[in-house]
Amino acid sequence: MKDINLVVEICGSAGEGTISAGEILSRFMSGQGFEIMSFDSYPAEIRGFGKCVAHTRISTNPIYSPGKYADVLISLNDRHSISQLSVLKSDGILIYDNQPPKAHKEDQSVVGWATPGMISYGIPLNMLANKAAGNARGMNMVALGALAALFHVDKDAFTGSIRNRYAKKKQIVVDSNVNSFLQGYEWTKTNVNKTDLISFDSVSPQVQGEKLITNGNQLVARAALDAKLSFYAGYPITPATKIMEILSKELPKHGGTLLQTEDEIAAIGAVIGAGFGGKRAMTATSGPGFALMTEFTGLSMMAEVPAVIINSQRGGPSTGIPTKTEQSDFNAALFSGTGDCPRVVLAPTDTSSCYQAMVTALYIAEKYQTLVVLLLDFFLSNSIKNIDVPDKPSQEQIYANIAPNKEQLKDYKRYKDTKNGISPRAIPGTPGGMFFSTGLEHSEYGRPDYTDANHLKMTKKRYRKFESILCEAPKLEISAMDSESVDIGVVSWGSSAGAAHEAVMIARKEGMNAASFSSMMVSPFPEDELIAFTDRCKQILIPELNFSGQFAGFAAGIIKRPVERLNFITGRPMAAEDILQKMREM
């Protein structure tokens, strides 16, 4: 069987159906059994005719990163597409409109900018759309038709997919889209002399069970509902808003309550209030909101009240770059706030692990009575993947509070210093369980107590919980090592882990001796495992999407060795190609 590994970009301006064409393409390919990953970029402005790019990777094999360069660029708009040529491979394929309604000046036509190694196919997109439906709206479908014809994609299955997509629309909408597609298909079959080698003919990937086409924001919302979230409070902020919007529809149906608060301080305050009441509660935000929540993170830790904060990172600092991806809140997530304030930080490494991370976050927060920060980023929140339908959480993960028994209630110490640091927690409404919680240093009974012996004892108790939490850490992702030691070990975290993993796989194919390591749990960090791994690496490379190497500094402190850093703040997701290049240079 032949392998397919293809990146297709559709570039147009907002309102030209660019994004919906990308969506139809990826849904169709997913239905055909391919792995897909897509990541669109929009103009920052809500209105206007800014540049849009629908970026889709299609593969017969697992996909770990979106791919930096495109194999195919479909131009729905010459002006915007000229700059997009910079990410088309030097032997890539350009599909463009060769009969635009108004002829372009020479330097404004995208094909004029294509470099000699590229293959350009001119298709009369506009003209064919008009022929199919009387207007240019169907250009995007004409282009998909051309793509299908060029690459020998099953025409009937594709039109079925288009029909599905518009199933809820009027028949005329369905027909004009399908007709546009067919116009593009037939015209291309008849008129284009194919010179590239891409073909889906006789490629039949294994369709493996039901797939879910989703993104990180949708998955955390789904996971939270499955894990019996009962309260959400939040304040809108890109890229986390969608989580609130999904839950505002779904949570009431599940008997829960959603509160839109006046600011993020109130949001996390309300979450902690609900947590105090024994309910599963969370909020989601991005950097600026996370900064405001900081004062409450200390209270959650100190008063030992469960709370979950999702921070979907944008470009920072301050208001930063709301619609670009970055991993620059590592330090804030681990260290923001005052005092000795341990907290759990989970950073899912790909779309599907967002589900597991969310379930784990709510579970750990409840069982260990602590703050859990779940770090997403703009890329994880928004990029779309087709994943296996996740397993629902177990009962153990859903009901995790350790309540005091009758004996313990006789002389109830809410903050009892126990072996694992977890003190049985009474929920308001429990007779005989009354206690007082405070952010002041307190005794086992919860009463303010500032003696040095007590402060040390209780600080140790709070830290002790974190030793046990490590056992709850989702499995580490460590690639196999063929030999006792490797030349390069790539250590990564969060959404960069996919690209790191992919880079290492390619490097090994190229004959390099390399391995990769990542952990979804970044606080507490599995230090022993990291040391065991890096002890076997001659050199260590840490790629991440921030300028100062926040994680690299953290990891170097653990392994007490210098590390090579690779940092980008371009606003684009980590690319396997860039890591690979760095590895070759090392």
Residues in contact with other proteins by the rule CB under 8 A = 230-231, 233, 252-253, 257, 259, 261-263, 265-267, 269-279, 281, 295-296, 299, 303, 428-440, 447-448
- SS3 for 353-379 is HHHHHHHHHHHHHHHHCCEEEEEEEHH
DSSP 472: G
Shortest Å distance, C-beta 179 to other proteins: 37
* Non-local CB neighbours of 354 within 8 Å, separated by 6+ positions: 216, 219, 220, 223, 348, 376, 380
Which residue from 476, 503, 522 is spatially nearest to 574, judged by alpha carbons? 503
Shortest Å distance, C-beta 230 to other proteins: 6
Q: Is 531 helix (H, G, I), strand (E, B) or coil?
A: helix
Q: Is 260 helix (H, G, I), strand (E, B) or coil?
A: strand
Bond into 317 cis (ω within 30): yes
The pairing of strands 5-13 and 119-123 is: unpaired
Q: Which is nearer to other proteins, 57 or 343 (CB)?
A: 343
* Cβ contact 73:79 at 8 Å: no
Shortest Å distance, C-beta 441 to other proteins: 12
CB atoms within 10 A of CB 143: 30
Shortest Å distance, C-beta 476 to other proteins: 35
Shortest Å distance, C-beta 440 to other proteins: 7
Amino acid identity at 447: R
Q: Which is nearer to other proteins, 258 or 586 (CB)?
A: 258
Shortest Å distance, C-beta 472 to other proteins: 24
Q: Which is nearer to other proteins, 269 or 543 (CB)?
A: 269
d(CA 190, CA 195): 14
Q: Which DSSP string do the residues of 215-241 spell out, in sequence order?
A: EHHHHHHHHHHHTT--EEEE---TTTH
Q: Which is nearer to other proteins, 248 or 323 (CB)?
A: 248
Shortest Å distance, C-beta 297 to other proteins: 11
Shortest Å distance, C-beta 500 to other proteins: 39
Q: Which is nearer to other proteins, 14 or 271 (CB)?
A: 271
d(CA 17, CA 136): 11
Q: Which is nearer to other proteins, 252 or 557 (CB)?
A: 252
Which residue from 474, 209, 498 is spatially nearest to 346, judged by alpha carbons? 474
Q: Which is nearer to other proteins, 98 or 430 (CB)?
A: 430
Q: Which is nearer to other proteins, 83 or 438 (CB)?
A: 438
